[in-house]
Amino acid sequence: MSRKHPRYLLGSLLVGALIISACGSDDTADDSADDSPGTSADGPDEASGMITVYTGRHYGIEPVFDEFTTDTGIEVRFTTGNDPELRERLIAEGANTPADVVMTADAANVELSAEAGVLASVDSDVLTETIPEELRSEDDEWFALSQRARVIIASTERVENPPTTYAAVGDPEWDGKLCLRPSTHPYTQSLVASLIIAEGEAGATEIVQSWVDNDPLYINSDTDIYKAVADGECDIAIANTYYLGRLLAEDPDFPVGIVWPEQDGRGAHVNVSTAAVTANAPNPDGALALIEWLATDGQKQFADANYEYPADPSVEPTEIVAGFGEFTADLAAVRQLGANQPAAVAVLSATGYE
Amino acid sequence: MSSTITDAADLVPPDPGMTTGTVDDGGARQSAVSAIGQRARSWPATTAITATAIAVSVPVLVIVWSIVQPSTEVWEELWATRLPGMIRDTATLLITVLVGTVVLGTSLAWLVTAYQFPGRRILGWLLVTPLAIPGYVLGFVWLDTLQEPLGARSVRSIWLCALVLTITLYPYVYLFARAAFREQSQRAIDVARSLGCSRSQAFWRVALPMARPSLAGGAALVGMEVLTDVGTVRLFNVSTIADGVLRVWFGTGNRNAAAELAVLLIGIAVVLIAMERLARGRARFTQSGSRTGLNVERLRGGRAAAASAVGWGMFTLAVALPLYRLITWAIEARRTDQTATVAGDLGFHVMSSLRVAAVATLSCLALGLLLVAGLNRRRRSGALLARMATLGYTVPGPVVAIGVLVTLAALDRTGWLPDGWLLVGSFVGLIYALVVRFLAVAYQGIESSVAKVSPSVIASARTLGAGRFRVASRIELPLAGAGIIAASVLVAIDTLKELPITLILRPFGTETLPIWVWQATSESLWVQAAVPSLAIVTIGMVLVAALLWALEHGAETVS
């Protein structure tokens, strides 16, 4: 019968396999690595041959991991998610966590993990030499791998004298002409945290209030904020630079320009993409190997994948990003962003920032 | 079964000796006759049910428990700042979407049930299909499409958000209303007409009141979906309480304050459920033996064209236009080779999604049947257990996910599993979380369809000497079969579209279609989200077809 109906046989095999795979995948530790798409299958099978990564930064991350595996033979298994949720998972798992490395797309979230005691302090000459002091935590629990600047952007067609400080964005001149990202997003929270660090809570409240008084159009996507400026929905906005990198890669004549803010003072607000070894990492050596590789051999590829600025100042950014020009960054604030985030959320609420 | 006896009782007051009527007093008598709900007196069943209710409610209770140490500081600040706005937005959205879905769902269901016009048959199916499109997908498609004509400012409004939610959620009401209208006998309408009602009066005074319990059931589901939505509202800058839970939790790391908001949400849900009970009233409407269905009025000329236009217009707005947009984007993504942000191909994601949805649905179905068969809701303990088992549907997905995470992690720490085995991040853990969230959908669907089996049928069988088990297995479950399949399909569609729980709890090697959509949309890469969105919609359509087949098939078996 099976000869006459090979399809049925195939079908029942498929169903069987489905059931088995459904039942058999409750072991998280080792076996499921084979069917993980985040694993390249051709690395050598060593005892320290695999690391597990929780990453809140997911745009274009897979090719970078693949490159690392090719270079070192260490396989990478990863899961993506939102930074705060991955932190909750790490905290809940405690000693049982399978994660060796946690990567975030902002400084506050990694600092909250450090406070919760789920990150390991790392002793690495490679990292202390390549990553500037301001871009790693005080006891080396986390390391920035790239910087993203949050700047003032303006239409190159309609705006002649764009504001050059964050406070000036609140000038009544921009009433009804301003686009901002909602307060739910970490980028907004971290920007306000940097204002608190520089100006104090009262000063920051005043600035944010002046933005809110300009009746901003809130758009929950930096790409759409750039497009809104291009389309004339608003004249100026606050956004991250690397989205412009992506847009310029598609259209070199995109009519929006960058203004580097606070260049006469502390410098433009920067946030960072970070990586950290977890306190309970099953494979801490492999974890450190990945972070060291990302800070050195993989540094350029990691930053370029998303048009960001490398954390290592000796590494050149990609050509489009270099075209944005030189700027002073507010590096001093980076370590304190996490501690000031709750205050930032309170300021945003108090001012009625949407 | 004898059609003469049951039909005669359609509008005639029920014989005091025997409850055969369409409208009876519901309470005690029905439970006295029904075999289901009576057999759970044995202790293994009671234990299993209690264990299920506890297991399913623990993750929510863990979160709720946080308010034992209230964080008054954050709470006061919230009152002074965002909370009034959150309550206003939540109320506005809830009321608008409830009114919208009930009006839209009921009138479309009446249109395709009571009138004959070109395209009626196919529209009866197509009008359910918006169910297959996740709100967050319809949301970003509309947002991007309407941005240019309306402007970026006015497109981000609570009214457009309400419209999007109404369009994706009205099928819940439509399905229930359509089933209710189809079950009604023409005789009821005829009697009303003979007593001097016009056709439209008959609709308002007979057909609609008789369908009321079904409409309330559908509306309750819509209400829960609106209350717990966290994907669609954020696209439109609408700041609801559910959104506030995440805002507080992830913005400040203050779990207690977030839990307090979540409890507020549960409170609103409880009020909503109470209102549904109230809307159902004490009346119970049961199926009579013969369902001749309503006489269908054939529309002609302009009226027929208008009816067609309404149906097709709705379908175009809710399904055809978004599909067209998604297909254009998918082609663009293919042309420009923009598929690089995810690991694994389409087939891999489809298999992941199907595996999760299938196992979660079967689990919900099995536990739902257990609860319906075993719980005696007339007892206070039964009602409590039912409430516990359905708690997860009243809180947003991310809250369920964190609750499950905390619960499973605590179990993992006890070390009772063999070395190297962990529940967090396991397939079992993910399915457990989905059951916590969606068991209510299965339970409600099964319970309402079992409740509709006429007590007279059961009484007849009992009179003829059938035991309780035999009655349940040979009469009640088969009669309710269509409803049970329908409930399963609703769960399957829900799990297929589910994002926040899967995102936090998925095991390595499981990457569902909504995860792919999230990867792209969280970076505003709408074009890259098109292919997985289309895959979700396609699988959803197949499920919707199965749902309708079940409903049609069920109608045939019963009559």
Mutate to test the interface with A, among B154, B230, B252 (most CBs of A within 10 A): B252
Quickly list H helices, A48-185: 61-72, 83-93, 107-115, 125-130
Q: What is the pLDDT of residue B92?
A: 96
Find which of A18, A28, A82, A178 to mutate to test the B interface (most B CBs within 10 Å of its CB). Answer: A28
User: Residue B55 carries which side chain, given as an amino acid letter?
Assistant: A
Instruction: Indicate yes or no: CB of B519 within 8 angstroms of CB of A58.
Output: yes
Phi, psi of B460 (to 5 degrees): -60, -45
pLDDT band at A271 (very low <50, low <70, confident <90, very high): very high
DSSP secondary structure letter of residue A174: G
Whole-number pLDDT of residue B338: 65
Cβ distance B406 to A92 less than 8 Å, yes or no, reads yes
The pLDDT value given to residue B259: 82
User: B537 vs chain A: nearest CA distance in angstroms?
Assistant: 22
**Residue from A349, A351, A353, A354 whose CB has the most chain B CBs within 10 Å, to mutate:** A349
Q: What pTM was estimated for this model as a whole?
A: 0.84
B71-282+300-334: which CATH topology? MetI-like fold (1.10.3720)
Residues of A in contact with B352 (CB under 8 A): none
Burial label for B484, CB within 10 Å (0-12, 13-18, 19+), is buried
**Contacts for B327 with CB less than 8 Å, ≥ 6 apart:** B530, B534
Asked if B508 lies within 8 A of A32 by C-beta distance, the reply is yes
Which residue among B81, B504, B522 places its CB closest to the CB of A350?
Answer: B81
pLDDT tens for B72-110 read 777 777 888 888 999 999 999 999 999 999 999 999 999
Q: Kindly determine whether residue A96 and residue B409, on different chains, have CB atoms separated by under 8 Å.
A: yes
**Burial tier of B282 (Cβ tally within 10 Å: 0-12, 13-18, 19+):** exposed
pLDDT of residue B374: 77
CATH 1.10.3720.10 domain range(s) in chain B: 36-69+338-559, 71-282+300-334
What are the residue ranges spanned by the domains of chain A?
A: 36-147+271-310, 148-270+319-350
The predicted pLDDT at position B285 comes to 58
Query: What is the third-level CATH fold of A148-270+319-350?
Result: D-Maltodextrin-Binding Protein; domain 2 (3.40.190)
Report CA-CA distances (Å) from B280 to A112, B128, B276, B380, B502. 49, 24, 6, 19, 35
Per-residue pLDDT, B535: 95
Task: Tell me which residue in A35, A58, A184 faces B509 most closely, judged by beta carbons.
Answer: A35
State how far Cα B401 lies from the chain centre: 19
The span from the CA of A30 to the CA of A14, in Å, is 24
Looking up tokens 């006896």 gives: B5
pLDDT at residue number B11: 29
**Contact at 8 Å (CB) between A329 and A270?**
yes
Rounded Cα–Cα distance for residues B502 and B437 (Å): 11
Closest A-chain CA to B420:
A29
Per-residue pLDDT at A259: 94
The residue behind tokens 């002073």 is: A328
Q: What is the ipTM of this complex?
A: 0.82
The residue in chain B having the minimum alpha-carbon distance to the alpha carbon of residue A115 is B253
Specify the CATH number for B36-69+338-559; select among 3.30.70.1400, 1.10.1070.20, 1.10.3720.10, 3.20.20.100.
1.10.3720.10
The Cα–Cα gap between B491 and B485 comes to: 10
Higher-pLDDT residue of A336, B186: A336
Burial B339-373 (b: 16+ CB within 10 A, else e): eebbbbeeebbbbbbbbbbbbbbebbbebbbbbbb
Cβ-Cβ contacts under 8 Å for B373 (sequence gap 6 or more): B36, B37, B39, B40, B45, B472
Q: Which residues of B touch A93 (CB under 8 A)?
A: 409, 412, 422, 424-425
> Quick one: closest CA in B to A339, which residue?
B252
Residue B19 pLDDT > 60, yes or no? no
How close is the nearest chain A Cα to the Cα of B306, in Å? 39
Q: What is the pLDDT at residue B111?
A: 92
Which tokens hold the place of B492?
A: 């399957």
Tokens 């809110």 sit at which residue?
A212
- Cα distance between residue B411 and residue B433, in whole Å: 14
Q: Exposed e or buried b for every residue in B191-208, given b needs 16+ CB within 10 A?
A: bbeeeebeeeebbeebbb
Verify whether the Cβ–Cβ distance B427 to A62 is below 8 Å: no
Instruction: Please tell me which of the candidates A33, A93, A184 has its beta carbon nearest to residue B234.
Output: A184
How far apart are alpha carbons B172 and B179 in whole angstroms?
11
Closest partner residue to B237 among A18, A98, A218, by Cβ? Answer: A218
φ, ψ dihedrals at A305, nearest 5°: -55, -30
Confidence check: pLDDT of A25 > 80: no
Q: Which of A89, A179, A223 sits opposite B405 (nearest CB)?
A: A89
User: Would the CB atoms of B235 and A220 count as touching at under 8 Å?
Assistant: yes
**Cβ atoms < 10 Å from Cβ of B131:** 26
Residue A175 has pLDDT above 50, yes or no: yes
Residue from the list B156, B398, B412 with its beta carbon closest to the beta carbon of A96 = B412
Q: Is the pLDDT of residue A152 over 70?
A: yes
> What's the longest Cα–Cα distance across chain B?
76
Please list, in sequence order, all residues whose beta carbon lies within 8 angstroms of the beta carbon of residue B224, skipping any fewer than 6 positions away: B269, B272, B393, B394, B440
* Nearest chain B residue (CA) to A19: B355
Specify the pLDDT at position A6: 41
Residue B40 pLDDT level (bands cut at 50, 70, 90): very low
What are the structure tokens assigned to B499, written together?
């994002």
Residue A264 C-alpha, separation from nearest chain B C-alpha, in angstroms: 31
Nearest to B82 among A63, A92, A349 (CB): A349
- String of b and e for A113-144 (b: at least 16 CB within 10 Å)? bbeeebbbebebeebeebbeebbbbeebbbbb
All residues of chain B having their beta carbon less than 8 Å from the beta carbon of residue A82 are 250, 503, 522
Q: pLDDT tens digit string along B127-172?
A: 999 999 999 999 989 988 888 788 888 888 999 999 999 999 999 9
Q: Are B394 and B228 in contact (CB under 8 A)?
A: yes
* Confidence at residue B233, expressed as pLDDT on a 0 to 100 scale: 92
Answer for the pair A91, A54: CB distance below 8 angstroms, yes or no. Answer: no
> Is the pLDDT reported for residue B292 higher than 90?
no
3-state DSSP call for residue A19? helix
Cα B312 to the center of its chain, rounded Å: 24
Cβ-nearest to B504 among A28, A85, A222: A85
CA A275 to chain B, closest CA, distance in angstroms equals 19
Q: What is the pLDDT of residues B226-268, one digit of tens each?
A: 999 988 998 898 999 999 888 888 877 777 788 888 888 888 8
pLDDT tier, A24 (very low <50, low <70, confident <90, very high otherwise): very low
Cα–Cα distance measured from residue A64 to residue A146, given in angstroms and rounded to the nearest whole number: 14
> Is B49 in contact with B374 (CB distance < 8 Å)?
yes
Low-confidence winner among A47-51, A271-275, B100-104 (lowest mean pLDDT): A47-51
A 10 A CB-CB count for B4 gives 9
Copy the structure tokens of residue B507.
């095991």
**B281 Cα to chain A: minimum distance (Å):** 41
Substitution target in B355, B508, B516 with the highest count of A β-carbons within 10 Å is B508
CB contact under 8 A, A349 and B78: yes
pLDDT of residue B79: 82
Measure B230 CA to nearest chain A CA, in Å.
12
The closest CB to that of A88, out of B402, B413, B422, belongs to B402
Nearest-neighbour CA in chain A from B260: distance (Å): 17
Between chains, do A224 and B152 touch, taking CB under 8 Å as contact? yes
Mean pLDDT of chain A: 86
Count of CB atoms situated within 10 Å of the CB of A342: 18
- Collapse the DSSP code of A119 into the 3-class scheme (helix H, G, I; strand E, B; otherwise coil) and give the result: strand
User: Do residue B252 and residue A342 have CB atoms under 8 angstroms apart?
Assistant: yes
Which of these, B299, B307, B293, lies nearest to B190 by C-alpha position?
Answer: B293
Task: Specify the range with the lowest mean pLDDT, choosing from A152-156, B94-98, B545-549.
Answer: B545-549
Closest residue in A to B153 (Cα–Cα): A217
Of A81, A98, A352, the CB nearest to B503: A81
> Which of B71, B142, B153, B510 is the mutation pick for testing A, counting most A CBs within 10 A?
B153
For residue B340, what pLDDT band results from cuts at 50, 70 and 90?
low
CB-based contact B243 A184, cutoff 8 Å: yes
pLDDT in tens, A216-257: 999 988 988 999 999 999 999 999 998 888 888 888 899 999
Query: Can you read off the two tokens belonging to residue A52?
Result: 């597990």
- Domain A36-147+271-310 is of which CATH architecture? 3-Layer(aba) Sandwich (3.40)
Q: Which residues of chain A are within 8 Å of residue B412 when distances are taken between CB atoms?
A: 93, 96
Q: Which of B355, B358, B425 is the closest to A98 by Cβ?
A: B425
User: A114-131: per-residue pLDDT in tens?
Assistant: 999 999 999 999 999 999
CB contact under 8 A, A93 and B348: no
User: What's residue B367's pLDDT?
Assistant: 93
Query: Do B514 and B499 touch, CB atoms closer than 8 A?
Result: yes
Quick check: B398 and A352 CB within 8 A?
no
Phi, psi of A276 (to 5 degrees): -150, 150
Name the strand (E) or helix (H) holding A247.
helix A241-250
Establish, for the pair of chains A and B, how many residue pairs have beta carbons separated by less than 8 Å.
Answer: 162
**Which has the closest alpha carbon to B71: B79, B61, B82, B59?**
B79
DSSP track, A126-160: HHHHHS-GGGB-TTSS-EEEEEEEEEEEEETTT-S
Are the Cβ atoms of B152 and A62 closer than 8 angstroms? no
